[in-house]
Amino acid sequence: MTPNATATSPAYLNPHLLVEERVADLLSRMTLEEKVGQLMLWDAREEDLSFINTRQPGSVLHILGAKINRAMDLAAKNRLGIPLLVGEDGIHGHSFWKGATIFPNQLSLAGAWNTEMLEKVGRVTAEEMCPTGIHWTFSPVLCLSRDLRWGRTGETFGEDPYLIGEFASAMIRGYQGEGLNDSTAVLATAKHYAGYSETQGGRDSSEADLSRRKLRSYFLPPFKRAVKAGAMTFMTGYQSIEGQPSTVNHWLLVEVLKDEWDFKGVVVTDWDNVGSLVKQQKICANYAEAAVVALRAGNDIMMTTPEFYEGAIEAVKTGRLAEVEIDAPCARLLALKFRMGLFENPRRPDLERAAIEVNRADHRAANLDAARQSLILLQNNGVLPLSLSKVKTIAVIGPNADDDMSQLGDWCLGSSQHSVEAGKQPREKTTTVVDGIRALAPNGTSILYEKGCSIIDDDLSSLPAAVAAAEKADVVIAVVGDHLKFIGETNSTATLELQGGQIALLDALEKTGKPMVVVLVNSKPLVLPASAKRAAAILEGFNPGMEGGRAIAEALFGEINPGGKLTISIPVHVGQQPVFYSQVRGQHGTTYADMTQEPLFPFGHGLSYTSYRYSNIVLQTPVLKSGQSAKFSVDVENTGKRDGVEIVQAYVSDLVTSATWVNKALKGFARIALAASEKKTVEFELSFDAFEIINAEGKNVVETGEFELLIGPSSRDSDLLKASLRVE
């Protein structure tokens, strides 16, 4: 029996009974008000926690540390003592816990193409969240990048549905550990379900112009993969599709997710989505009506809409909603709490343990490893790695060279999602680019640092000092990118140009004639000016986290060999949107009249300090019958003088389809280590459903006919070897 159970205790407190029995017993004892309260996820940032007794919410968020103990004490005093489920935004680390390990953002992590590393990121984050009293993280993001102006692009894994599903599944495994009763694990949340990233003009949460076929083709597959990976919570998007906000989309939440995919977890709305039905989207006249449509659409938990409480109760008492319609989502949540063992162990904060967990050396090492693997060398004329015998003076210039917040990016202390009063992550926990260069530069090397300009305004007062430093140097490291003001939720941009004085800075640095290495510290792809495109080298870090500066310095000095690859295309011009690689066939012409349609750097691109040769593609199954897997291999040789890691990519192209389809789609990849001069045979096996399309009726089908398998180092056609395959 549990510590609180006795021989005469109610059945729901008996851990030896089946979960279904415990749920039924507890539900039978609950009042309407208690049931409605369970469906509410309450914002607990205010000091006054009396709502826990007056509204009896099932879950809370934005509450940390000792304050959670107060909340749990209050919940234990409620009539039935139902434990709280405590959620928080652990997006790329324990975001809002001071001193926690903050990893690179999702887009940066994706550049490693390494599911084992992503699982480790999830595991470390869970290990740091759990002792602080958190049970549930609102991560990972499974949105599909489309218009790069969207402020939340950096929260995605990029532009490819297959990769997103693989990477998200890895993080889910890391977060959820050994299962629901693992006390070192947190619940993962697959978000935002679904189509939220298909914006108009890149504007956040605007109407998404999507058909059900388009959803099934590109946006839903990663979420289906997340169900298979065991994700126990799904979060709805803010946007609407064909006139229906995600919050009221019964087809999406019930017919597909719960019925077709057999999802057994809970669906939570995003922030005040039910309130938005009344206040912003204006499809409901009042909160009683909003409660009815939200519940009937399949939502189980309503995030931060306090008006839902009175609205739902009113709807039942006036006959617009049957109480049994509240019973079903309440039962789903209670079942989750029972399976997590929260009635026996509410998983209170252990702040002594938390102090140990968030300072573990192996967590910092995992963060550095993630930053190293995620770096992407976009361009290099041979200047990198820096020749230490020739380079004695280095000018480190740029607004992001020593900006810890730009390096950490969105969703951490100091970003827009948390109050200014909460402060920011300790500066000493973050190694900026200039910190890393100073730490790793050989003795006798002179490091000159100047900010050069601002990102948030056109102030160029520090430009002359930056130019003077560059003129004294043997090489210039120009660290540019974006700023928290121009990224994140609600912060979409009309342009992708470098903001503030950065273009003027790069132009001026180029005129010094000194070799220039451009280091990008940015949330999402940016359009680069001509001076940057002509740079000796370009290294992409995105938001590389607390250890990003060290990893970047190691790459500059050649201590590591960059091996990351883009999971998102970098455009030449903002007007090329959309520029993702998997375009649907059928366009007239191949270019714009005034410029190329090709990206500056395509999906899958990434260079190395060595070189690789692909050859000898061998297809073991040239004719594929229903249900068979396609087996094939390719030889990859390191033809350079340095050891390296290559990311081998396998694409499928269905040459003739009954409905329009993409030119090619990634279906497999392999991350392989190759010593200098080493050759390996890389083997692939693609399941039969890798050859599916979504036909005009919205059905998943593999059609007979000719296919091409394309294998190489990027999505660029000229980089790919081809083999023909026929499906019969």
What's the pLDDT band for 205 if we cut at 50, 70, 90? Answer: confident
CA gap 128, 140 in Å, rounded: 16
Cis check for the bond before 24: say yes or no (omega within 30 of 0). Answer: no
Percent of the residues in the chain that have a pLDDT greater than 70, as a whole number: 99
Mean pLDDT of 424-453: 97
At 258, which amino acid appears?
K
For 283-336, how does the pLDDT look when each residue is reduced to its tens digit (9 = 90+)?
Answer: 999 999 999 999 999 999 999 999 999 999 999 999 999 999 999 999 999 999
Mean pLDDT of 258-280: 98
CA gap 347, 331 in Å, rounded: 21
For 326-355, how does the pLDDT look when each residue is reduced to its tens digit (9 = 90+)?
Answer: 999 999 999 999 999 999 999 999 999 999
Mean pLDDT of 58-81: 97
- 165 pLDDT higher than 60: yes
- 1 pLDDT higher than 80: no
Instruction: Tell me the two tokens of residue 95.
Output: 């975001």
Active site residues: 270
Q: What is the pLDDT of residue 416?
A: 85
Collapse the DSSP code of 111 into the 3-class scheme (helix H, G, I; strand E, B; otherwise coil) and give the result. coil
> Which DSSP string corresponds to 147-216?
-TTSTTGGGS--S-HHHHHHHHHHHHHHHHTT-TT-TT--B-EEEEETTTT--STT-TTPPB---HHHII
Q: What is the pLDDT of residue 603?
A: 98
Q: What is the pLDDT of residue 6?
A: 60
Q: DSSP assignment, residue 252?
A: I
Q: Of 1-5, 182-186, 701-705, give the lowest mean pLDDT range.
A: 1-5
Q: What is the pLDDT of residue 116?
A: 98
Q: Give every CB contact of residue 429 below 8 A, 6+ residues apart in sequence.
A: 99, 102, 546
CA gap 102, 124 in Å, rounded: 10
At 636, which amino acid appears?
V
CA gap 698, 183 in Å, rounded: 42
Q: What is the pLDDT of residue 4?
A: 59
Q: Can you state the angle between helices 361-374 and 548-556, rounded to 10 degrees?
A: 50
Mean pLDDT of 95-123: 97
The CA angle 489-572-449, to the nearest 5 degrees, is 70
pTM score: 0.97
- 138 pLDDT higher than 70: yes
Mean pLDDT of 92-96: 96
CA gap 286, 308 in Å, rounded: 10
Q: What is the pLDDT of residue 7?
A: 57
Q: What is the pLDDT of residue 419?
A: 77
Pairing of strands 612-619, 630-638: antiparallel
CB 155 within 8 A of CB 410: yes
- 272 pLDDT higher than 80: yes
For 506-546, how does the pLDDT look when each residue is reduced to its tens digit (9 = 90+)?
Answer: 999 999 999 999 999 999 999 999 999 999 999 999 999 99
Mean pLDDT of 610-630: 96
For 210-232, how does the pLDDT look when each residue is reduced to its tens digit (9 = 90+)?
Answer: 999 999 999 999 999 999 999 99
Pick the more confident residue, 359 or 642. 642
Q: What is the pLDDT of residue 137?
A: 98
Q: What is the mean pLDDT of the chain?
A: 96
Helix or strand holding residue 394 (H, E): strand 393-397
CB 157 within 8 A of CB 107: yes
Burial of 422 (0-12, 13-18, 19+ CB in 10 A): middle
Instruction: Specify the residue for token string 């539900």.
Output: 27
- 2 pLDDT higher than 60: no
Q: Of 2-16, 90-104, 185-199, give the lowest mean pLDDT range.
A: 2-16
What's the pLDDT band for 5 if we cut at 50, 70, 90? Answer: low
What are the structural domains, with CATH classification, of the chain?
A: 29-353 (3.20.20.300), 364-576 (3.40.50.1700), 612-727 (2.60.40.10)
